[in-house]
Amino acid sequence: MTIPRRSLLVLPALAALPRPARAQAYPSRFITLVTGYAPGGGTDVAARVLADAMPRHLAAGARIVVENRPGGAGAVASEWLTRQLPDGHTLMLTETGAALAAPVVVVGGTRYDPIEDFTHLGFISRPPAVLVVTPSIAAATPRETIARLRAARSGTMSYASSGFGGMIHLWGEMVARHLGNQAVHVPYRSGGQMVQSIMTGETQFGVSSMASAVPLIRESRVKPVALIGDTRFPPMPELPTLGELGIEGFETGSLFMVVGPPRMPEALATTINSVLMRTLAEPAVGERLLTAGLPVPAAAQSPIEARGEMERHLARMRAIVEQTGIQAQP
């Protein structure tokens, strides 16, 4: 499938943002930007784009280092972040799975509260996810692909995820239940690894982040079927949503957000939010993220708005966990 490149228009609401008042004072040393997964997945791609671009809006000589702390579908890095100093020098690029799914999937909950134990600094994208299958499944249309998956003998199919209990796992289990053929779950340590397994046929299908799947979709090494989310994705206009195929319950996509440790000073949180928004307003940054499957927000948003977004997604995660019955032992 050929994915056309689209120019990215920067909305005035982002482009007109003022420069942060404290940019000359912050940071005083390098910033660590943590992700909860191994290199190659969507959070890793997004973190490295931000690490390259954000220093341009910080004090002279500012540097951001990406650190991968995989484990527990992002819970390991999330719990670690809550113990760091709230001085703005340790941040995390998180997503729905690490931030919201793990706390409601783990039996007894995680050691962190998904809302109260973080400072929400701003979301960078609300991307759809995508159901992909191994190329050996011969089907001409998305509907035919779904029909072939559904017709497979029970227990002969397997689906991949980027870790037990994460959002990708929950979506994969929901798809498997819709198909009704008792597909076996195979967890990997990152989105990149899971998509590679689908490419080679080690697993037959899975729900992937766009960032992990897009490079292999471009090369026709995995086959996209449909989107998780309520709207189509502009660079792939021909790809329907699962809802358009008559498969309900997949109307909410992912959420990628930058968070900090709890109790960060309000002025510092505002400064980092302003830096983040100005970074996203750069056309080159937006284009890089969009090419990776991560469309930037349509308008700027404050830390308070970012927190509200997380609260809404948390309610959705609780409903999905209740529907799937998936639980993980701590």
CA angle 96, 100, 104 (to 5 degrees): 140
Q: In this structure, what are the phi and psi dihedrals at residue 126, rounded to the nearest 5 degrees?
A: -120, 70
pLDDT of residue 288 exceeding 50: yes
Domain annotation covers residue 7: no
Q: For the residues 131-160, what does the mean pLDDT come to?
A: 93
What is the residue-averaged pLDDT of the chain? 86
Domain annotation covers residue 5: no
Q: Which of 210, 245, 280 is the last residue of a domain?
A: 245
pLDDT digits (tens, 9 = 90+) for 98-128: 777 777 776 667 788 889 999 999 999 988 8
pLDDT digits (tens, 9 = 90+) for 263-280: 999 999 999 999 999 999
Same domain, 122 and 93: yes
Q: State the CATH number of the domain containing residue 301.
A: 3.40.190.150
Cα-trace Rg, the chain: 19
Q: What is the pTM of this model?
A: 0.77
Q: For the residues 95-100, what does the mean pLDDT come to?
A: 77
- CA dist 155 and 180 (Å) reads 10
Q: For the residues 135-154, what does the mean pLDDT come to?
A: 93
For residue 316, the model assigns a pLDDT of 81
Same domain, 171 and 70: no
Q: Give the pLDDT band (50/70/90) at residue 322.
A: confident
Domain annotation covers residue 6: no
Domain annotation covers residue 188: yes
Q: State the CATH number of the domain containing residue 228.
A: 3.40.190.10
DSSP string, 179-235: HTS-PEEEE-SSHHHHHHHHHHTSSSEEEEEHHHHHHHHHTTSSEEEEEESSS--TT
Same domain, 276 and 213: no
Q: Which domain holds residue 46?
A: 12-127+254-324
pLDDT digits (tens, 9 = 90+) for 21-76: 444 478 999 999 999 988 877 889 899 999 999 999 999 999 999 999 988 778 89
Cβ neighbourhood burial of 51 (10 Å; 0-12, 13-18, 19+)? middle
Q: Which of 221, 245, 269 is the last residue of a domain?
A: 245
For residue 95, the model assigns a pLDDT of 85
Looking at the 3D structure of the chain, how many domains does it have? 2
- CA dist 33 and 296 (Å) reads 19
Kindly report each contact of residues 146-155 with a partner whose C-beta sits within 8 Å and lies 24 or more positions away, as own/partner: 146/179, 146/225, 146/226, 146/245, 146/247, 149/179, 149/181, 149/204, 149/205, 150/179, 150/180, 150/181, 152/179, 152/181, 152/204, 153/181, 154/180, 154/181, 154/182, 155/181, 155/182, 155/183, 155/184
For residue 107, the model assigns a pLDDT of 60
